[in-house]
Amino acid sequence: MDRLESNDEYLMQLVKKDQLEAAQQLFLRYRSRIFGFFRHLTADAALSEDLTQDVFERMIRYRASYKDGHRFQTWIFQIARNVRLDHLQTHHRTTLLAEQAAKQKLPQTDDPYDPIFLRERQHQLQQALQQLKVSDRELIYLSKFEHLKYQEISRLTGKPENAVKVAVHRALKQLRVHFFSSEND
Q: For 43-160, where are the alpha helices, taking DSSP H only?
A: 45-61, 72-91, 96-103, 115-130, 134-140, 150-157
Is the Cβ–Cβ distance between 71 and 156 less than 8 Å? no
Which whole number is the average pLDDT over 148-165? 93
Residue 33 has pLDDT above 60, yes or no: yes
Residue-level pLDDT at 106: 41
Residue-level pLDDT at 103: 44
Is the Cβ–Cβ distance between 8 and 72 less than 8 Å? yes
Which whole number is the average pLDDT over 7-31? 94
Which whole number is the average pLDDT over 108-129? 65
Number of neighbours of residue 43 by Cβ within 10 angstroms: 22
pTM attached to this predicted model: 0.67
Average pLDDT over the chain, rounded to an integer: 82
**39-43, 53-57, 70-74, range with the lowest pLDDT:** 39-43
pLDDT, greater one: 100 or 41: 41
Residue 31 has pLDDT above 80, yes or no: yes
pLDDT tens-digit readout, 76-97: 999 999 999 888 877 754 444 4
Which whole number is the average pLDDT over 152-170? 93
Which whole number is the average pLDDT over 126-136? 86
DSSP 3-state assignment of 20? Answer: coil
Give Cα separations from 101 to 11, 31, 44, 87 (angstroms). Answer: 38, 24, 10, 22
- The domains located in the chain, with CATH, are 1-93 (1.10.1740.10), 96-185 (1.10.10.10)
Residue-level pLDDT at 182: 63
Among candidate residues 86, 179, 165, the one with its CA nearest the CA of residue 132: 179
Cα–Cα dist 142/135, whole Å: 11
